[in-house]
């Protein structure tokens, strides 16, 4: 039976939980192609002021220097940086899981901080 109402799964397909410290959670969102250079590393953290930060990065080990080497070096010299693109490919289900993981992680770390600050003596 086909259904258009796809829901986020638990445990989530394509989303690996890396670590959890109450006020911080980290996940690895894997790319469909299997290349871990494309994976998103997601950090969700809440600080004392209940400010929530989400950091998403890729650890790309690209052989950028092998292509247009001199052009890249010139860009690096003239601009001071090299542009690098890493695309992540996700299934529909994974994208939904990604979204709901972010949503619940933001909620969880915020809740954790809130509970802590309530119990904290002045």
| Contacts to Zn ion by CB under 5 A | 31, 33, 35, 38
Residue 62 or 117: the one with the smaller Cβ distance to Zn ion is 62
Cβ burial, residue 20 (10 Å; 0-12/13-18/19+)? middle
Per 3-state DSSP, what percentage of the chain is helix, strand, and coil (rounded to 5)?
A: 35, 20, 45
Residue 46 or 94: the one with the smaller Cβ distance to Zn ion is 94
- What minimum distance in Å lies between the beta carbon of 12 and Zn ion? 18
Residue 33 or 54: the one with the smaller Cβ distance to Zn ion is 33
- What minimum distance in Å lies between the beta carbon of 38 and Zn ion? 3
- What minimum distance in Å lies between the beta carbon of 13 and Zn ion? 16
- What minimum distance in Å lies between the beta carbon of 100 and Zn ion? 22
Query: Cα–Cα distances in Å, from 111 out to 45, 54, 114?
Result: 11, 15, 5
User: Among residues 3, 72, 88, which one has the least CA distance to residue 39?
Assistant: 88
Residue 33 or 76: the one with the smaller Cβ distance to Zn ion is 33
């Amino acid at each position: 039976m086909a259904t258009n109402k796809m829901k986020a799964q638990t445990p989530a397909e394509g989303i690996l939980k890396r670590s959890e410290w109450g006020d911080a959670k980290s996940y690895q969102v894997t790319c469909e192609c299997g290349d871990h250079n494309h994976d998103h590393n997601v950090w969700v953290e809440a600080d004392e002021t209940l400010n929530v930060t989400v950091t998403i990065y890729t650890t790309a080990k690209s052989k950028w220097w092998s292509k247009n080497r001199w052009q890249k070096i010139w860009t690096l010299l003239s601009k001071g940086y090299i542009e690098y693109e890493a695309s992540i490919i996700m299934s529909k289900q994974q994208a939904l899981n990604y979204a709901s993981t972010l949503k619940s992680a933001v909620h969880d770390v915020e809740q954790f901080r809130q509970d802590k600050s309530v119990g904290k003596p002045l």
